[in-house]
Structure 1
Amino acid sequence: MIRLLKFWLIVSIGWAGIWLGVSSYENYIKNGDGFLGVTNINALFRYTGWLLGVLMLLSFGLKSKINWLLNLTLSAASFLFFLFLGEVLCLILIRFTIVEVAKPFHSRLFLFEGWNAPKRPFWGDYSREFGSWRLPNDSLEIVPCHGDTLSIRTNSFGMRDKERTLKNTKSQKRVLMLGDSFAEGYIVNASARHSDILEKETQIEHLNFGIKSTSAINYYLTYSHLAKKFEHDVLTVCILPANDFEDYTSETKVDLLKYPIYRPYWEGTFPNVSVKYSLADISQSLATLQNHNKPIRTYYTVDSIYHTLPLKQRIWAEITLNSYLYNCVFGLSAKFVNRKRMPPNSFAKESFEKRWDAFAHSLEQLAKAAKGKEVIFYAVPIVNDLKVYHQSKVDDLSPRIEALCRKYNITYINLLPKFYAAGPQNWDKLYEPCDGHWTPAGERLVAAALLKHPAYLKAIGLTNP
């Protein structure tokens, strides 16, 4: 036992000496950023330290003359050996793409390649109040999955819209439109969006404040801190049940260790809640001008987030970020389960019940902020909603939204039946098969449905467009 103790003492001194030597080299000869290439030095030696510690404990346990301790050590050693074999096997399967599952991020050890974007983000975290927005007078040319080049431009307010004024300079009513990528018209030209079609058909301004990757709390905050500054008479909100219940919550903080982004959320017990943000400050976000191509800054943000997690979440983070075996087992299991089951119906209770309180509270705050305006909520489906609805005819969501709307004298327009009425043979024509967003035909269907709805026509002061 004395010889074993001496051995591990020598190993420990050697390990500490190598750590000190590598750190000194990096600090005094290299640039002092804590990295050799893409590897964080301190994290590397912490992980190797844990490994050496486990091996040391096993070696002492195997030398023990206490039977129960020896048996426990043998069991632990066997378990760790087979765990190691599983990790090696899954590493080979993933690295050589024998199985198609995601690689571990290793974001506590390496600079993740996805943290270094050469171009500044067009959609980024640019608002301290509502997070996701765009830069003013910016432009972007992209080739979406449908293959056609798309030119996107913003006005002086960062809206994907033509130039607008704060004052309503016309004698007609004015409409503001909120929503996510479906309201924005994510992969269609601006002229093909339902907001632009409505403006053209009615000759009434429809200001588009839609932006992708947002949800109901963003709609409320965007309206309160930006859109409300524009004179208007009518407010419309495009509700996409498939995404609008996927807010950030403090329970999903571990996900920030992959992509630290700035998202608002409600903290507290409803209705006694307040707005909080996923990061301590927007300057920590990956999706900013300062950080989009500075992976080392993002690493240290990830490191600071990690150290705010409770022990249970830290352990879970280490497994999910580093284990090839975990990615193999859960990645393949998810694929198998998804092949066997029907896609979820976003309008069904089981899809939204858990997050209903946050969603409803956001819409209620929006309704209060828009007091005195004509407000219209319109819900839209994705193509999977239509396919599942075709079999089940379940829509639990609309009655819940209608009850909320009655409380605040808001109009609710459910476009699920309108899309469903187009027929299964036409659904794929309304959505891009490679992406799931609306095609120009889908945008036209929404515009046509609103133009025929008496509540919309009454709100904008028309009987016929």
Structure 2
Amino acid sequence: MAVFRKIITRNIKKWGKGFFSVIAVSLVTAELISIAVIELGLIAADKPNYLIPGLRPFWVNRNPDFGIWHEPDVEYVHTKSCFSVTYRTNSYGARDRMRQSHGKPSRVVVIGDSFIEGYGLNREDRTTDILESETGIEHLNFGTSGHFGPTQSLLLYKNLAKRFHHSIVLFGLLPDNDFTDDDPAHANSYPNQYRPYFVEKNGNYVLEYANANQRGILERDFRREKHRFFNRLLRNFTYTSNAVNYLRRLYGFNQSRLKIGGKASASTYSGYYDFTQKQAERLIYVLEQMLNEAEGKIFYVLVIPRPADMRTEPSPLISILNHLGEEHEKLHFIDLRKWFASQRRWTDFYRDCDGHWSPAGARSAAEALLAEPAYRRFLRLD
């Protein structure tokens, strides 16, 4: 009997060593493959930054009015294959230098998503900082990443940015994903994310929140962040975790587009052309609500193209926006697509690793605004 137990024990140890050897080899192989595909730019996943994460993340899903925002007074190192930058927030959570609410009335409040925030850019390379440096007029940056749609920008302006004295509002519209970010039919693309949507009911739009049970429960958010610490640790120290997270998000996004009959490929979809009538109607409603909140201030919409948008045929989106501008005296539009197309090597305006603006792209956007006669007139530059 003792001999039999020894044989069983020896076999278990042997099998255990073999099992763990297979696991170890598999993990190492997965890491090597992930290193290759990320470093070669085959997928736009983050790179590990080899920093111990804190319990306070940079982007948090906590604001009761508009959902995702930045934690105040936080520093975050963001690393991908084509950039490594440090983000810092001020006391009210904006990625910007500290601003006084009672500043000069000629200031510009800037709202929008990751292109406005300056995703992957040093602060001095962002469009808003270039505009401020060139004009001497403050451009307060309230942009944020996190699939931040026009409805969220409206609510951010209404509940936060509007408190700061200003005379002009500049809103960055990204057709590439702003239609889907604002569409309740796409809510499943952002599981567990607290998000506002305007839902059409009986001919009216009603503001509703996805995952509303998370609203304003700060203590639970902190507990959840503690549970997420291990996941962030893996992302900060392994390529594999970043590759898996990227592919999972991409799969969810494409599945959502397929379910509602949209285009599945992120490389062929163009928000300048491929939106639905309901999505267009919702955007018009949100823009008109922004105008109401601006209370007679000059309101500029900066339409931001992605490479898939750079076509020559007329865009139905621009036609809609031009018609809307004719109905509202204070509403103005600048389509960067036309400006970019006139520049040499406009393809250099986008990062190879994720499609956001390079420093050259952000600067060209600033130059487009500075070349706009009406914008210069409103800023009293001429």
TM-score scaled by length of structure 1: 0.60
CA distance in 2 between partners of 1:435 and 1:243 (Å): 14
Q: 2:369 aligned to 436, 447, 450, which one?
A: 450
**Mind listing any 5+ residue stretches in structure 2 that lack a counterpart?**
1-28, 34-52, 229-250
Residue 64 (structure 2) aligns with = 128
The higher-RCO structure (CA 8 Å, 6+ apart) is 2
Q: 2:205 aligned to 258, 273, 276, which one?
A: 273
Q: 2:338 aligned to 417, 430, 441, which one?
A: 417
5 Å-filtered alignment, 1:254-293, equals: 254-255=188-189, 259-269=191-201, 272-281=204-213, 282=215, 288-293=221-226
CA shift, 1:260, in A, is: 0.5
Per the alignment, in what secondary structure is the counterpart of residue 413 of structure 1?
A: strand
5 Å-filtered alignment, 1:232-243, equals: 232-243=166-177
Query: Is 2:260 aligned against 1:347?
Result: no
Residue 42 (structure 2) aligns with = none
Amino acid at match of 1:162: R
CA distance in 1 between partners of 2:164 and 2:264 (Å): 47
Per the alignment, in what secondary structure is the counterpart of residue 290 of structure 1?
A: helix
5 Å-filtered alignment, 1:59-98, equals: none
CA distance in 2 between partners of 1:197 and 1:361 (Å): 31
**Bigger CA radius of gyration:** 1
Compare 267-276 and 373-382 and name the one that shifted more.
267-276
CA distance in 1 between partners of 2:151 and 2:264 (Å): 33
Amino acid at match of 2:302: Y
CA distance in 1 between partners of 2:101 and 2:200 (Å): 35
Query: Is 2:142 aligned against 1:209?
Result: yes
5 Å-filtered alignment, 1:183-222, equals: 183-212=116-145, 213-222=147-156
Per the alignment, in what secondary structure is the counterpart of residue 180 of structure 2?
A: coil
CA distance in 2 between partners of 1:341 and 1:156 (Å): 36
Superimposed CA distance per residue, residues 58-88 of structure 1 (whole angstroms, 9 cap, x where no aligned partner): xxxxxxxxxxxxxxxxxxxxxxxxxxxxxxx
Amino acid at match of 2:280: W
The alignment of Structure 1 onto Structure 2 pairs a total of residues equal to 301
Residue 314 (structure 2) aligns with = 394
Tell me, yes or no, if the aligned pair for 1:347 and 1:385 is still in contact at 8 Å: yes
Superimposed CA distance per residue, residues 99-153 of structure 1 (whole angstroms, 9 cap, x where no aligned partner): x9xxxxxxxxxxxxxxxx975431111210111111111111121231x421110
Residue 372 (structure 1) aligns with = 296
CA shift, 1:290, in A, is: 3.2
Tell me, yes or no, if the aligned pair for 1:377 and 1:411 is still in contact at 8 Å: yes
Q: 2:281 aligned to 331, 349, 357, which one?
A: 357
CA shift, 1:411, in A, is: 1.1
5 Å-filtered alignment, 1:266-345, equals: 266-269=198-201, 272-281=204-213, 282=215, 288-294=221-227, 343-345=268-270
Residue 404 (structure 1) aligns with = 324
CA distance in 2 between partners of 1:340 and 1:206 (Å): 35
Residue 20 (structure 1) aligns with = none
Query: Is 2:366 aligned against 1:431?
Result: no
Residue 224 (structure 1) aligns with = 158
Q: 1:215 to 1:339 in 2, by over 3 A?
A: closer
Amino acid at match of 1:269: K
Q: 1:277 to 1:201 in 2, by over 3 A?
A: same
Identical counterparts, % of pairs: 31
TM-score scaled by length of structure 2: 0.72
